[in-house]
Structure 1
Amino acid sequence: MAWSGGEKRKEAFTIFLRVLLIFLVVVQTTAFRGGVQLKKKEHRNAYATMMYMGTPRDYEFYVATRVLIKSLVRHKVDADLIVIASLDVPLRWVRALEEEDGAKVVRVDNIENPYKKQQDFDKRFKLTLNKLYAWNLVDYERVVMLDADNLFLQKTDELFQCGQFCAVFINPCIFHTGLFVLQPSLEVFKDMIHQLESGFKNPDGADQGFIGAYFPDLLDQPMFHPPLNGTALNGQYRLPLGYQMDASYYYLRLKWRVPCGPNSVITFPGALWLKPWYWWSWPVLPLGIQWHETRRQTLGYAAEMPIVIVQSIIFLGIIVMTRLARPSISKLCYRNSDKTTSLMQIALKFIAIWSILAAYIVPFAIIPRTIHPLVGWTLYFLGSSALSSIAIHSFLLPAIPVFLPLIGIFGSLLVMAYPWYPNGVVRALAVFAYAFCYAPIVWASMVKVVARLHVSLEREQFFPKLGESSSSPPSGFNKLY
Structure 2
Amino acid sequence: MKPQNHNAVLQKWFLLLLAICSCSSIADCKEKRPRHKNAYATMMYMGTPRDYEFYVAIRVLLKSLARLNVEADLVVIASIDVPLQWIQALEEEDGAKVVRVENMDNPYEHQSNFDVRFKLTMNKLYAWSLVDYDRVVMLDADNLFLQKTDELFQCGRFCAVFINPCIFHTGLFVLQPSMSVFNDMVHELKIGRDNPDGADQGFLASYFSELLDQPMFHPPQNGTKLNGTYRLPLGYQMDASYYYLRLHWSIPCGPNSVITFPGAPWLKPWYWWSWPVLPLGIQWHERRRQTLGYGAEMAVILVQSAIFLGTIAVTRLARPSLSKLCYRRNDKSIIFVQSSLKVVAIWCIIAAYIAPILVIPHTIHPLVGWTLYLLGSFALSSIAIHIFLLPMLPVLVPWLGIIGALMVMACPLYPDGVVRALCVFAYAFCSAPFLWVAIVKIMAGLQLSLEREAFLPRLGESTPPSGFNKLY
Matches within 5 A, 1:399-410: 399-410=392-403
The Cα of 1:130 is off from its aligned counterpart by: 0.4
Matched residues in 1 for 2:174 and 2:217: separation?
A: 14
- 371, 374, 377: which one aligns with 1:378: 371
- 439, 464, 471: which one aligns with 1:467: 464
- Please state if 1:147 is matched with 2:137: no
Matches within 5 A, 1:28-43: 39-43=32-36
Residue 179 (structure 1) aligns with: 172
Quickly say closer, same or farther: Cα 1:226–1:374, change in 2 above 3 A. Answer: closer
What SS class does the counterpart of residue 378 from structure 2 fall into?
helix
Matched residues in 2 for 1:451 and 1:469: separation?
A: 31
Deviations 1:272-319 (A, max 9, x none): 111111111111121111111111111111111111111111111111
Identify which range, 410-419 or 61-70, moves more after superposition.
410-419
Residue 248 (structure 1) aligns with: 229
Matched residues in 2 for 1:200 and 1:378: separation?
A: 49
The Cα of 1:375 is off from its aligned counterpart by: 0.9
Residue 219 (structure 1) aligns with: 212
Letter in 1 for 2:424: V
Could you tell me the percent identity over the aligned residues?
69
What SS class does the counterpart of residue 56 from structure 1 fall into?
coil
- Please state if 1:59 is matched with 2:57: no
Coordinate RMSD, CA, aligned = 2.5
The Cα of 1:266 is off from its aligned counterpart by: 1.5
CA contact (8 A) 2:162 2:231 kept: no
CA contact (8 A) 2:328 2:464 kept: no
Residue 409 (structure 2) aligns with: 416
Deviations 1:364-414 (A, max 9, x none): 111111111111111101110110000000111010111111111011111
CA contact (8 A) 2:270 2:281 kept: yes
Quickly say closer, same or farther: Cα 1:155–1:105, change in 2 above 3 A. Answer: same
Residue 236 (structure 1) aligns with: none
**Per residue, is there more helix in 1 or in 2?**
2
Residue 77 (structure 1) aligns with: 70
Residue 306 (structure 1) aligns with: 299
What SS class does the counterpart of residue 173 from structure 2 fall into?
strand
Matches within 5 A, 1:340-379: 340-379=333-372
Matched residues in 2 for 1:135 and 1:64: separation?
A: 23
CA contact (8 A) 1:225 1:250 kept: no
Deviations 1:76-127 (A, max 9, x none): 0111111111111112111111111111111111111112222232222111
- Please state if 1:89 is matched with 2:82: yes
Residue 198 (structure 1) aligns with: 191
The Cα of 1:460 is off from its aligned counterpart by: 4.4
CA contact (8 A) 2:261 2:269 kept: yes
Matched residues in 1 for 2:218 and 2:135: separation?
A: 14
- Please state if 1:210 is matched with 2:203: yes
Matched residues in 1 for 2:71 and 2:416: separation?
A: 35
The Cα of 1:159 is off from its aligned counterpart by: 2.0
The Cα of 1:338 is off from its aligned counterpart by: 6.7
Matched residues in 1 for 2:163 and 2:443: separation?
A: 47
Q: TM-score, normalised by structure 1?
A: 0.83
The Cα of 1:415 is off from its aligned counterpart by: 1.0
Identify which range, 299-308 or 214-223, moves more after superposition.
214-223
Matched residues in 2 for 1:90 and 1:373: separation?
A: 27
Letter in 2 for 1:249: Y
- Please state if 1:442 is matched with 2:439: no
The Cα of 1:420 is off from its aligned counterpart by: 2.5
Quickly say closer, same or farther: Cα 1:226–1:378, change in 2 above 3 A. Answer: closer
Letter in 2 for 1:253: L
Quickly say closer, same or farther: Cα 1:150–1:186, change in 2 above 3 A. Answer: same
Quickly say closer, same or farther: Cα 1:283–1:468, change in 2 above 3 A. Answer: farther
- 221, 229, 243: which one aligns with 2:224: 229
CA contact (8 A) 1:283 1:416 kept: yes
CA contact (8 A) 2:211 2:229 kept: no
The Cα of 1:162 is off from its aligned counterpart by: 2.2
CA contact (8 A) 1:71 1:153 kept: no
- 94, 105, 130: which one aligns with 1:101: 94
- 95, 104, 107: which one aligns with 1:111: 104
CA contact (8 A) 1:218 1:251 kept: no
Quickly say closer, same or farther: Cα 1:375–1:46, change in 2 above 3 A. Answer: same
What SS class does the counterpart of residue 59 from structure 1 fall into?
helix
Deviations 1:175-205 (A, max 9, x none): 1111111121222111100000111121221
Matched residues in 1 for 2:55 and 2:439: separation?
A: 41
Residue 130 (structure 2) aligns with: 137
Q: What are the ranges of 5 or more consecutive residues in structure 2 without an aligned counterpart?
A: 1-17, 239-250, 468-472
Matched residues in 2 for 1:369 and 1:209: separation?
A: 30
The Cα of 1:217 is off from its aligned counterpart by: 2.6
Matched residues in 1 for 2:347 and 2:148: separation?
A: 51
Letter in 1 for 2:271: Y
CA contact (8 A) 1:356 1:402 kept: yes
- 427, 441, 449: which one aligns with 2:420: 427
- Please state if 1:265 is matched with 2:251: no
CA contact (8 A) 1:160 1:181 kept: yes
Quickly say closer, same or farther: Cα 1:366–1:40, change in 2 above 3 A. Answer: same
Letter in 2 for 1:58: D
Matched residues in 2 for 1:257 and 1:145: separation?
A: 24
Q: What are the ranges of 5 or more consecutive residues in structure 1 without an aligned counterpart?
A: 1-16, 29-36, 232-245, 471-481
CA contact (8 A) 1:334 1:340 kept: no
Residue 167 (structure 1) aligns with: 160
- Please state if 1:128 is matched with 2:121: yes
What SS class does the counterpart of residue 292 from structure 1 fall into?
helix
Letter in 2 for 1:467: P
Matched residues in 1 for 2:215 and 2:330: separation?
A: 83
- 258, 267, 273: which one aligns with 1:274: 267
CA contact (8 A) 1:98 1:104 kept: yes
